[in-house]
Amino acid sequence: MNSQLILGIESSCDETGVALVRAPQGGGVPTLVAHALHSQIDMHQAYGGVVPELASRDHIRRVLPLTGAVLAEAGCALAEVDVVAYTRGPGLAGALLVGAGVACALGAALGRPVLGVHHLEGHLLSPFMSADPPEFPFIALLVSGGHTQLMRVDGVGRYGLLGETIDDAAGEAFDKSAKLMGLGYPGGPALSRLAEQGDPAAFKLPRPLLHSGNLDFSFAGLKTAVLTQAKKLGPDLEARKADLAASTQAAIVDVLVKKTLAALEGTGLSRIVVAGGVGANRLLRAQLNAACERRGVRVHYPELHLCTDNGAMIAMAAAMRLQAGREAPNRDYAFDVKPRWPLDMLA
């Protein structure tokens, strides 16, 4: 056998993702064969946020039909799958258990090994599926949901934490600020769209920890400043909402860019990877691209459709861990999940 076919299942929060990745034996970057994704946004909109029980029930309904669709797109039979990978954590416990249970059941039925994958490692390695894949080592800016971290990445499973958020993450700052402005759910993308119509210099908002001398982040104070400004505007908020959105986005992006560049300078590396949902933000990409071009530094992103949670990144992470010898095939179909699982604790 000169390659392995890996089925990946993602169910950590409000998106059900399934994908097939083919990994060459003996090295070479694995390739995405097919993937399918179902988002629960419409279901959770009525509640203004993710309802864990509803999320879990929807994963149950979606995961097997999506698996069938991916196999059909790839022209593969289920029996051709060599490894079944799933998101073990972090995430919502009930949602994680759905993906883990289905993956281990499939593995047991097929007699194939299973592999639990770290959700953030999936994001971290997702740019390897892009048209411009990175090379190790690099600085990684992970901006996914409740996570904002800067990592030094020397190889698969070789991650050193340089800085992280001490309260709200960047994604939470986007979402919570959007909610304060009445922009609905999901707030982050809505705020970014509205910001394109506003003046980013209209309001002077704080850049928390920008001059702290370390690489940690804090966005809770920014959220409070947005709330204070919204209250000051009162009945004028509706007319100035685009300006407030633009100013909020500018503050978040400014901190992310400057801290990332500081990490680059502190380590002496010359390559950056940006991964996670906030990595799709246009302003963040534009400012990082410009800053890196001036410094002669390479910056890599996942393809836009792979920035949010997806099964492809889980299958890819599993493939790269197996190739690197970080994991051995596992046919113990008992499983657990890790709702809280620091990436720097991953071997």
Strands 298-300 and 271-275: parallel
CA–CA gap between residue 103 and residue 331 (Å, rounded): 12
User: What are the residues whose beta carbons fall under 8 Å from the beta carbon of 170, sequence distance 6 or more?
Assistant: 143, 148, 217, 219, 252, 255, 256, 278
Longest dimension (CA), the chain: 68
Give the closest residue to 14 by CA, choosing from 126, 130, 175, 194.
Answer: 175
Kindly give the parts of the chain with pLDDT less than 50.
none
Give the closest residue to 92 by CA, choosing from 346, 309, 314, 334.
Answer: 309
Q: Which two tokens stand for residue 49?
A: 């946020």
pLDDT at res. 213: 94
Give the closest residue to 91 by CA, choosing from 347, 343, 345, 312.
Answer: 343
pLDDT at res. 323: 94
Phi/psi of residue 152, nearest 5 degrees = -95, 125
Q: Are 327 and 321 in contact (CB under 8 A)?
A: yes
pLDDT at res. 327: 86
The residue with tokens 């149950």 is 60
E strand or H helix that includes residue 89: strand 83-89
CA–CA gap between residue 3 and residue 87 (Å, rounded): 22
pTM for the predicted model, two decimal places? 0.96
pLDDT at res. 185: 86
pLDDT at res. 1: 58
The residue with tokens 């509640």 is 47
pLDDT at res. 133: 95
Per-residue DSSP letter, 26 = T
| DSSP H helical ranges for the chain | 41-45, 52-74, 93-110, 119-125, 170-180, 187-195, 220-233, 237-267, 282-295, 311-323
